[in-house]
Structure 1
Amino acid sequence: MSQKIIFDTDPGIDDAMALLFAHAHDNVDMVAITTVYGNGVIEDCTRNACYINDTFNMGATVVQGAAGPLTRDPVGPTVVVHGEHGLGTVEVPLDYPINIDPRPAHEYMCDLARENPGEITLVAVGPLTNLALALQHDPEIVNNVKEVVIMGAAFGEGGHRGNVSPVAEANIHDDPHAADQVFCADWPVTIVGLDVTHQTFFTGDYLDELRRSAGEVGEFIWQVSRFYLKFYSEKVGVDGCHVHDPSAVAYVADPSLFGVRKGPVRVVTEGPAIGMTIQKSDERFYHHDEWSCFRSQQVCVEVDNQRLLQMYKDSINSLA
């Protein structure tokens, strides 16, 4: 039975790759796309979501969300990674029709979860502002959603500690206060972070092969990946890119791909380590312990990367 998801995203090159994956996989039913600032400003992210949804006949409801973080000053779009408007050298016309639900994203999330109790999974691959606003708007959402799956954070497994600071991953760093609220809330959260996304890699050859085999969808993925791969080549020195946002979709489609570690998670919200995520994974009593009073959450620490890559390829090819 397919999993109904609301996909909360800031498209974004790897977000676009993940949206197509969610659309393609039989185990995932993407009923809505909610947008958030992050890889671009909210207007660009919403326009990109509408364009992808329309172009590939996804049939999802698009809903616009937060334009900035809860408390901290905005970090700004990651233009160096995703280009001026989020999709690299693929630019959606600025006058592209924006057909969206009139509600703010956090209100839409609460309404849909209330109408479908126990059925909706929130999959968030950008800053977690919309989810934190949903918690504030209707605290009962923790009882109405099935689960929350996020792409973000880094816990140091295999040396994967951060990508925008030595200790912080970008989505968490963009709104650490929201992330701390989401991780501490009484709902089940699975965190698919750099600990596993850095273990899976779309090589240049892999993307070339998708271009040949997956028709219009493969061509689009190849085109948007050009800017991304240029960044990885110049800044990281590799031919390809890590599989960030699609890994969150992969978890929803098949959790057996991942090994997890359990324990409450907190986020550093100020100072030089802002955005750092820390999990208490032992049962020890500490005199100073602001973790143990919160729900234990799952952090992905292992991944069957070859099986994930094959799943992605098979799913995208099915759209051809």
Structure 2
Amino acid sequence: MNAKIILDTDPGIDDAMAILFAEANPNVELVALTTVFGNTEIDISTRNALYLKQRFGFKCDVAKGASKPLKRPPVGASIAVHGENGFGNVDMKEPTISADPRAAHQYIIDTVKASPNEITLVAVGPLTNLALALIEAPEIRGLVKEVVIMGGAFGTHEHTGNVTPFAEANVHDDPHAADVVFTADWPVTVIGLDVTHETFFSTDYIDTLRDTCGEVGEFMWDISRFYLDFYKSRMGVNGCFVHDPSAIAYVINPSLFTLREGPIRVVCDGPAEGLTLQKYKQTQHKTDEWADKKPQQVAVAVNDQGVLDLYLDSMTQYGNR
């Protein structure tokens, strides 16, 4: 059975790779792209989602979402990573199609209520839209099939953060929203840096995408030039970690990931703002801000070659359809 997903996203180079993966794989039905600030400002995020929809003929809806965090001051777009236009500054035609008139969080509420227990929410940007949906309509907690988050870092394999020593970007952009989403009484699986930093798109791998996946492969190669330059200059590596596409890989084949269960909290201020902490041991304490929260799943290991094979196979079939 196909997984029906609403993909909440801030496109974003690796977001584009994840969006195309979701559209490409026959086991995923991409219902909508809901956009959020993060890698880019909200108008650019929405423009990029509409661009992908129009250029590659997606049937999904696009809904424009939150432009700022729930409480904290915005940290600004990730121009150094994704470029001024979010897609590595490649030339783009302005889309001539429009977004759904509803705000993204309202679109999520309406769609989940219309298809109870069928929709998986996949979020690969700041979690503001999901938090707003929960705040406005808490009843959707019992109507969503699953929530899959690319975000957070729990210290497995010594992966602790990428925008601060202890915070991952999506959570750091809106820690209050992340805490709302992680502590809600609905099923959450977190695909964080613990596993996304264990899977790697080498420059040779991205060259293979270009050479075997038709127009979509050429597009991913083009937008990745800026991204790979960032990785090379900042980390000295020839390639990039597989962040957002890993969340889609989990939806398609959860067996590629090893999960650990326990409630999650987020540090919302101070020098550790954005730190994600999971209580996975059954210990008892006089003070325990995790004890009454729903246990959630965190990915702590991954079959990295399996993810790479799944991605290449999906994109090759899609690019040559």
Q: TM-score, normalising length from structure 1?
A: 0.99
Any idea what SS the aligned residue of 1:43 has?
A: helix
Once residues 271 and 65 of structure 1 are traced to their aligned partners in structure 2, the CA distance between those partners, rounded to angstroms, is 27
Percent sequence identity is 59
Aligned to 2:134: 135
Amino acid of the structure 2 residue aligned with 1:9: T
Pair 1:15 & 2:19 matched: no
Q: Provide Cα deviations, 1:97-138, integer angstroms capped at 9, x if missing partner.
A: 241110100011010000000000000000000000000110
Aligned to 1:296: 295
Aligned to 1:24: 24
Q: Provide Cα deviations, 1:48-97, integer angstroms capped at 9, x if missing partner.
A: 0000011111111000000000000000000000001111122434x432
Any idea what SS the aligned residue of 2:101 has?
A: coil
Amino acid of the structure 2 residue aligned with 1:233: K
Once residues 149 and 55 of structure 1 are traced to their aligned partners in structure 2, the CA distance between those partners, rounded to angstroms, is 26
Any idea what SS the aligned residue of 2:138 has?
A: coil
Aligned to 1:66: 66
Aligned to 2:234: 235
Once residues 251 and 99 of structure 1 are traced to their aligned partners in structure 2, the CA distance between those partners, rounded to angstroms, is 30
Q: TM-score, normalising length from structure 2?
A: 0.98
Which deviates the most, 117-126 or 95-104?
Answer: 95-104
Aligned to 1:311: 310
- In the TM superposition, 1:62-141 aligns within 5 A as 62-93=62-93, 95-141=94-140
Gaps of 5+ in 1: none
Any idea what SS the aligned residue of 2:87 has?
A: coil
Shift of 1:175: 0.1
CA contact (8 A) 1:89 1:226 kept: no
CA contact (8 A) 2:267 2:275 kept: yes
Once residues 67 and 91 of structure 1 are traced to their aligned partners in structure 2, the CA distance between those partners, rounded to angstroms, is 24
Q: Provide Cα deviations, 1:133-188, integer angstroms capped at 9, x if missing partner.
A: 00011001101110100000000000000000010000000000000000000000
Aligned to 1:51: 51
Greater than 3 Å deviation, 4+ residue runs: none
Any idea what SS the aligned residue of 2:62 has?
A: strand
Once residues 271 and 7 of structure 1 are traced to their aligned partners in structure 2, the CA distance between those partners, rounded to angstroms, is 30
CA contact (8 A) 1:65 1:130 kept: yes
Any idea what SS the aligned residue of 1:140 has?
A: helix
Aligned to 2:193: 194
CA contact (8 A) 2:54 2:95 kept: no
CA contact (8 A) 1:121 1:146 kept: yes
Once residues 210 and 107 of structure 2 are traced to their aligned partners in structure 1, the CA distance between those partners, rounded to angstroms, is 35
CA contact (8 A) 1:89 1:223 kept: no
Shift of 1:27: 1.2
Once residues 215 and 117 of structure 2 are traced to their aligned partners in structure 1, the CA distance between those partners, rounded to angstroms, is 35
Pair 1:205 & 2:204 matched: yes
